[in-house]
Chains A and B, each alone.
Chain A
Amino acid sequence: MRIMDQNKEKKVVEDEIDEILQVIKIIYGYDFTEYSKASVRRRLNNFMIMNDIQDLNVLKRQVSGDDQVFRDLLESLTVTVTEMFRDPDLYLALREKVLPTLDTWPFIRIWHAGCSTGEEVYSMAILLKEEGLLHKARIYATDINSKALSEAKKGETNISLMKDYTRNYIQAGGKSNFSEYYTVKGNKVYWDPSLAKNITFSLHNLVSDKSFNEFNLIICRNVMIYFNRNLQNKVTKLFKDSLTLFGYLVLGNKESMFLSSEADFFETIDKHEKIFQRVK
């Protein structure tokens, strides 16, 4: 681990990391200062190793002076890994506990905050289609990472992943043949374009950007794990303010509302799958 191998005092290293984050904030306008330090440190370290950067001072100079280095660093600070129907039990819980209520609204506005390369969004579209709700759903999928977003917009995936994805789909309570939702060409799989009809992908930064609509369902899984607790509170408040009364918030299943400043506004609908409902 490069950061640790430096024979510097830990305090010095921590200060250097803070300096880099300040540089990024001031020059490029991205604020990572409230991300989890442990996470940031790990990602910076991996970036340095992959790009053969000797130490944090060199990194700071390169980031300040070179747009491309910053863009690459931004990419690696914000990349997340996702898959179709990840945590199939969540989709079972959504089918059972959330979708019936969503059906009572004339339009269903859904926000996938931190949609990464889109797998979760296409999974949701498939779920809604099977439950007869896709036609009245408007899905907004946002992410801070523009490379991930352009991948998401392509609506494709690799055939090598389909065995796992099919298994996930079945465990998630899939009612059809998974193959009905895609076509295969070579080693690429293309999701049925009708799934994407009601999906809008756009850039959005949870740290800096405001609420942009009122939603019935907000899904933000494995995004806030990269934030420190203060930022988690701020973003949860953003979500609460973006939810209609009795709308739902879904977090990753290893996340918690327990210590959240917004906990009182929510009732727990499913404590394992971290489904919450705004009740005030």
Chain B
Amino acid sequence: MDVNFPVPIVVVVHRMKNNNSSTADILQYRSKVHIHEALDKTEVLPGKIYIAPADYHLLIDDQLILHMDCSAPLNYSRPSIDIFFESVAYSLGKSAAGILLTGANSDGANGLAKMKKAGCVTVVEDPETAEFNAMPLAATKLFKPDFVCPANEIIDLILSVQKDE
């Protein structure tokens, strides 16, 4: 089942390689919505949620097509959230939004800062309430996100888009 949501959602999490199914399965188990595993050249569509595979960097172009990349990890991360956010900033600019959640390293802060510079809406989970605050803290120290709020408010924020469109 896909949601009645006006834009596609792409999720990038740090995953163990050779463990492709686990993270997607865990997310899927807790979600009524179908989570699509992104493949190379997948075109992301409104109302669908995609998850980046382990051990590849993800890029997106202005046609909303995902491109995989196998180059070296960045900040020990592959997929790198920075690389994806940078790609979103360049290819999609204002028409995208970026959300940075709990995480144990600083991956994503630079990328989200670039998204802000490109005119994207930027949301960071409040470091005070995040389970691991390194990731959101790195972002809030680097620039001023449009929204900094606890996870449950982020959910409300996302749902409000559905109503406004």
Report which of A36, A253, A259 forms a contact with B67, defined as CB distance below 8 A: A36
Measured between alpha carbons, how far is A38 from B67 in the docked complex, in Å? 7
- Given A254-B39, A254-B40, A39:B67 Cβ within 8 A: yes
Interface centre among A1, A224, A255, A258 (most CB of B within 10 A): A1
Interface membership of A171, Cβ < 8 A: yes
List CB contacts (< 8 Å) of A2-24 with chain B: 3-4, 10
The interface residues of chain B lying within 8 Å CB-to-CB of A41 are 90
CB distance from A148 to the nearest CB of B (A): 13
**Contact count A vs B, C-beta below 8 Å:** 69
Interface membership of B114, Cβ < 8 A: yes
Interface centre among A81, A224, A254, A255 (most CB of B within 10 A): A254
- Whether A254 pairs with B68 at a CB distance below 8 angstroms is yes
CB distance from B42 to the nearest CB of A (A): 8
- Whether B41 pairs with A256 at a CB distance below 8 angstroms is yes
Task: Give the size category of B's interface with A.
Answer: 20 to 34
CB distance from A86 to the nearest CB of B (A): 9
- Whether A232 pairs with B69 at a CB distance below 8 angstroms is no
Measured between alpha carbons, how far is A254 from B51 in the docked complex, in Å? 12
Interface membership of A225, Cβ < 8 A: yes
The interface residues of chain B lying within 8 Å CB-to-CB of A205 are none
The interface residues of chain A lying within 8 Å CB-to-CB of B38 are 254
List CB contacts (< 8 Å) of A224-280 with chain B: 224-226, 229, 232, 252-256, 258-259
Measured between alpha carbons, how far is A3 from B72 in the docked complex, in Å? 20
Of all chain A residues, which has the CB nearest B39? A256
Query: Which B residues are closer than 8 A to A by beta carbons?
Result: 18, 20, 38-42, 53, 56, 59-61, 67-72, 83, 86-87, 89-91, 114, 118
Query: Which A residues are closer than 8 A to B by beta carbons?
Result: 1, 3-4, 10, 36-39, 41-43, 79-81, 87-89, 171, 222, 224-226, 229, 232, 252-256, 258-259
